Amino acid sequence: MPTRPEKVYYFGTCLIDLCYPQAGMAGIELLRREGIQVIYPQQQSCCGQPAYNSGFPEEAKKVARQQLKAFPKDYPIIVPSGSCGGMLKHHYPKLFADAPEAAEAQRFSERVFELSEFLVRVLDIKLEDQGQPIKVTWHSSCSALREMRVIEYSKSLVRQLKNVEMIELQRERECCGFGGSFSVKQADLSSAMVADKVTDIEQTGASLLLSGDCGCLMNIGGALEHRQIPIPVKHVAEFILERAHG
Amino acid sequence: MANPVTVDFPRNFTKALNDGQLRRNLRAAMDTLGLRRRNLFSDPEAFEQLRARGDAIRRRALSKLPQLLEQLERKCTENGIQVHWAETPDEANRICLEIMQRHNATRVIKGKSMVSEEMHLNHFLEERGIEALETDLGEYIIQLDHETPSHIIVPAIHKNRDQIARLFHEKIPNTPYTEVVEELNAIARKILREKFFAGEVGVSGVNFAVAETGTLCLVENEGNGRMCTTAPPVHIAVMGLEKVVERLEDVPPLLRLLTGSATGQLITTYFNMISSPRKPDEKDGPKEVHLVLLDNGRTQIWADPELRQTLKCIRCGTCLNHCPVYTRLGGHAYGYVYPGPIGSILTPQLEGLENAGAMATASTFCGACEEVCPVKIPIVDILRRLRIEAYNKVDSPHAVKGHGYKVNAMESLTWKGWALSNATPWVNALNAKLLGLLGPQLPRLPAPDIVKKWTQSRTLPKFASKSLHVLAKEKGLSDE
């Protein structure tokens, strides 16, 4: 873990960029309120994971190279997503293993941190809950859980909020069935998986679902809405910012 | 067993997903197995150490596979075990048949063996007038129902007690209907007892073959494996050639990992170590022991350092038990002998991507399989590799059979366009802007296939009118 830096880079992720920019901004705000200068390179785009996992590594590399270019300096790179964070941190070195950028990709990967881990471990952020009592539940994305291993940090942020009761899912460690191209190529399987996740969420009696990954939120939130179940979903950064700073 | 060419994954998957009883049976069974495993490996640190050992033992064995196989053959031969090499399942079947015919055998009793399933041995023998009876209780149950195993370890896991009760009542003459487990066990036991003594040849698998001593290790709970390997005058053991380990001391840690991962057992009821046929001064045991070593593409897998890791597998089946996809489909939906995560990496390598490549798409890459794998097989990385080779012709002697079978202009073009957009900031910005503007209009446009599939169970996400790029700029964030 780095010591508290003056400046950090922020990698917004393509999904947040296009569909959930407010979740992205919340992460930026949380960092800025801790006195950190956040740099948002306009040259950034997607981490490359969609192509990488679908069987198109050359296309993934092309896009990944653009990210190496967009984040040239030595600052930590903060990512509000376990999935894209996992790609940048754990897969770039593999993707470029035999390429001229191998060393660069390795250094890049070492600078990558998932947002909640960075807030907790480096900034030791303290949250004061300003909100009304609420029951929430938490979905662990597979990559945050198994690749980035940051779930405890995300949950510890929510636990700092004294009026928030967090009810855990029965099958918290089970995938929601998103899996990028899986959700389209294996649509029936994906639907069956998210249906079970939705049932699990309903059974908690929570009025809000939180997660640190917008891919899962898009999948689960879409399924909740499709079934007209009035439980909204929210990225954890957006939630804690609202609670702590109004 | 389905013919490889005709496996219809979408149809199989839909059928399995619509079978509520199957899904309930699987869920209940997997929850129990998962819980037992967690209880046994309750100390994460100790478990990690054991896994590291298991991984190291399997790596070491594979690193010297050719030498160890030679040593195994030498030691077995010294011990009086006759060793046979088979390159293809057909060759392995013929070796077995030839031994059986030499002994005029018409009734064969079998202990559980996935390699014999891979060979489709039962079917092969049946066509040649030899009855092969499965004696593992689960295998016996599914054989009664003319099915194949749906799990590597627990072959009848897809059936519940009521279904088994009905099956026994219908298929076994003069059997009253009973759902009492003890009574069901007693029914099977009575029938199998008689068969054990009528069997002229016993067939078994091998869990570990020890090169140092020429010992064949067999893990089981029911005693049927011991019966199959000792009661008939001839014992044939079949194994994939990756099952070899170097030393006897390699076995205990692997055994602990195997039983703990598979069923959450510290040890099994039986652990057989077969080192020779009956010796002159011994009263029982087979007079002949044969070992058939099957390659079936394994040397090709072995030749590639990444794919080689597939062969570390000790067939504990725990990746199946923890896989959200397997848990919802069961093994039959995959259409091949090895289902679930390990099957999804092994089968396309054995059968070719053009036949079984679709198995590699039946994963969200959630990583639950890797997390529990006792010998640390990088299942997700290998799945990704298979997806890549499916779409790309590979100029390497280690390429997976059937590589490039999915090459198609449309998909390639789509990803090329995607890459161009995401590697060119002004195109990316323009796209974001267009999507933001078009967003509210999109539902009115004719929906492409990809959207239809998404919306069968989910509403579509909405594109933001201002992207994060734009918001960050408006907020005055530095872009150095």
Q: Which amino acid is at A13?
A: T
**B positions 315-354 inside 8 Å of A (CB):** 324-325, 328-329
pLDDT at residue B6 greater than cutoff 90: no
Per residue in A31-66, pLDDT (tens digit) is 999 999 999 999 999 999 999 999 999 999 999 999
Q: Quick one: closest CA in A to B431, which residue?
A: A18
* CA of B382 vs chain A CAs: smallest distance (Å): 11
Name the nearest CA neighbour of B377 among B261, B220, B268, B211.
Answer: B261
Q: Which chain B residues are Cβ-neighbours of A139 within 8 angstroms?
A: none
Inter-chain touch B324–A174, beta carbons under 8 Å: yes
Contacting residues of B for A12, CB less than 8 Å apart: 468-469, 472
CA-nearest residue to A179 within chain B is B364
Closest-CA residue of chain B to A144: B366
Does residue B47 carry a pLDDT above 50?
Answer: yes
Q: By the 8 A CB rule, do A223 and A198 touch?
A: yes
φ, ψ dihedrals at B420, nearest 5°: -60, -45
Chain A residue with the nearest C-alpha to that of B391: A55
- The Cα of A233 is separated from the nearest Cα of chain B by a number of Å equal to 12
What DSSP state is assigned to residue B9?
H
**How far is the CA of B203 from the CAs of A9, B226, B237, B325, B470, in angstroms?**
63, 11, 6, 32, 69
- How far B368 CA lies from chain A's nearest CA (Å)? 8
Is residue B2's pLDDT more than 80?
no
Of B43, B53, B39, whose CA–CA distance to B376 is shortest?
Answer: B53
> What's the residue count for chain B?
480
Query: Are B80 and B282 contacting, i.e. CB atoms less than 8 angstroms apart?
Result: no
B160 CB contacts (<8 Å, ≥6 apart)?
Answer: B21, B24, B25, B28
Would you call B365 and A142 a contact, using CB atoms and an 8 Å cutoff? yes
Written as six digits, the tokens of B447 are 């929906």
Tell me what pLDDT residue A245 has: 79
Q: What is the DSSP string of B314-335?
A: ----HHHHT-HHHHHH-SGGG-
Nearest neighbour of B419 by CB, restricted to A17, A59, A142? A59
Chain B: closest CA distance from residue A162 (Å) = 30
Q: Do A188 and B450 touch (CB under 8 A)?
A: no
pLDDT band at B15 (very low <50, low <70, confident <90, very high): very high
- Per-residue confidence band for B117, with pLDDT thresholds at 50, 70 and 90: very high
Cα dihedral A211, A212, A215, A221, rounded to 10, equals: 20
CA–CA min distance A62, chain B (Å): 6
Smallest CA–CA distance from B416 into chain A, residue: A59
Residue that is written with structure tokens 């408006």 in the block: B474
* Res B52: pLDDT: 98
Q: Does residue B110 register a pLDDT over 70?
A: yes
Is B465 in the A-facing interface, judged by CB distances under 8 Å? no
Mean pLDDT of B282-311: 97
Question: Which string of b and e fits A113-138 if b means at least 16 CB within 10 Å?
Answer: bbbbbbbbebbebebebeeeebebbb
Question: B247 by DSSP, 3-state: which?
Answer: coil
CB contact under 8 A, A54 and B387: yes
**A148 to chain B, minimum CA–CA distance in Å?**
12
Contacts A43 to B, Cβ<8 Å: 425, 479
Residue of B nearest to A82 (CA): B366
- Percentage of chain B exceeding pLDDT 70: 99
Evaluate if residue B189 carries a pLDDT over 50.
yes
Q: What is the pLDDT of residue B450?
A: 83
Q: How many helices (H) and strands (E) does chain A have?
A: 14, 8
Q: Is the pLDDT of residue B273 over 60?
A: yes
- Evaluate the CA torsion angle B155, B159, B161, B162 in order and state its sign: negative
Residues 6+ apart with CB under 8 A from B380: B363, B365, B367, B369, B370
Helices (H) and strands (E) in chain B, counts: 23, 10
* Distance, CA of B275 to CA of B229 (rounded, Å): 11
Instruction: Give yes or no for B180 touching A (CB within 8 A).
Output: no
**Chain B residues lying within 8 Å of A181, measured CB to CB:** 361
Residue of B nearest to A28 (CA): B472
Q: Do B459 and A189 touch (CB under 8 A)?
A: no
Q: Give the model confidence (pLDDT) of B426-463 as tens digits.
A: 999 999 999 988 877 777 777 788 888 999 999 999 99
Give A244's contacts (C-beta < 8 A, 6+ positions apart).
A127, A128, A129, A130, A161
What count of CB pairs under 8 Å joins A to B? 204
Taking CA–CA distances from A72, the nearest residue in chain B reads B480
Give the model's confidence band at A246: pLDDT under 50 very low, under 70 low, under 90 confident, else very high. Answer: low
Query: What is the reported pLDDT for B1?
Result: 41
CB distance A177–B406 less than 8 Å? no
**B38, B364, B424, best to mutate vs chain A, most A CBs in 10 Å:** B364
Q: What are phi and psi of A178, to 5 degrees?
A: -75, -80
Closest CA to B329 of B1, B30, B119, B36: B30
Distance from CA of B305 to the nearest CA of A (A): 14
Other Cβ atoms closer than 10 A to B34: 18
Non-local (6+) Cβ contacts of B425 within 8 A are A42, A43, A45, A66
Is the pTM of the predicted complex or chain greater than 0.90?
yes
Asked if A18's CB is within 8 angstroms of B425's CB, the reply is: no
pLDDT digits (tens, 9 = 90+) for B355-378: 999 999 999 999 999 999 999 999
Q: Which strand ranges, in their side-by-side order, compose the sheet holding B131-134? A: B81-86, B288-294, B234-240, B201-204, B107-110, B131-134
Closest CB to B415: pick one of A19, A28, A51. Answer: A51
Confidence of residue B4 (pLDDT cuts 50, 70, 90): very low
Q: Which of residues 3-22 of B touch A (CB under 8 A)?
A: 10, 13-14, 17
CA angle B360, B347, B323 (to 5 degrees): 55
How many Å lie between the alpha carbon of A201 and the closest alpha carbon of chain B?
A: 15
**What is the rounded average pLDDT for all residues in chain B?**
95
Find the DSSP H helices in B330-367.
340-351, 353-356
Residue B213 CB neighbours (<10 A): 18
Distance in angstroms (rounded) separating the CA atoms of residues B439 and B90: 58
Mean pLDDT of A67-74: 97
What confidence category does residue A106 fall into, taking pLDDT thresholds of 50, 70 and 90? very high
Q: What pLDDT was estimated at residue B7?
A: 83
User: Is the CB of residue B412 less than 8 Å away from at least one CB of chain A?
Assistant: yes
With CA atoms as reference, report the closest residue to B363 among A169, A50, A49, A175: A175
**B428 vs chain A: nearest CA distance in angstroms?**
7
Residues of A in contact with B328 (CB under 8 A): 189, 192-193
Q: How far is A71 from chain B (nearest CA, A)?
A: 9
Neighbouring residues of A7: CB distance < 8 A, sequence distance ≥ 6: A36, A37, A38, A39, A75
Place of tokens 């049932």: A199
pLDDT tens digits along B223-251: 999 999 999 999 999 999 999 999 999 99
Q: Which of B17, B425, B472 has the CB atom closest to A192's CB atom?
A: B17
Of A123, A121, A152, A149, residue with least CA distance to A236: A152
SS3 content of chain A, % helix, strand, coil (to 5): 50, 15, 35
Q: Are A129 and A167 in contact (CB under 8 A)?
A: no
Q: B476 touching A, CB under 8 A?
A: no
Taking the Cβ of residue B410 and every Cβ of chain A, the question of whether any pair is shorter than 8 Å is answered with no
Q: Which residue of B has its CA nearest to A219?
A: B458
**The pLDDT value given to residue B3:** 46
Q: Which residues of B touch A225 (CB under 8 A)?
A: 458-459
CA A67 to chain centre: 17
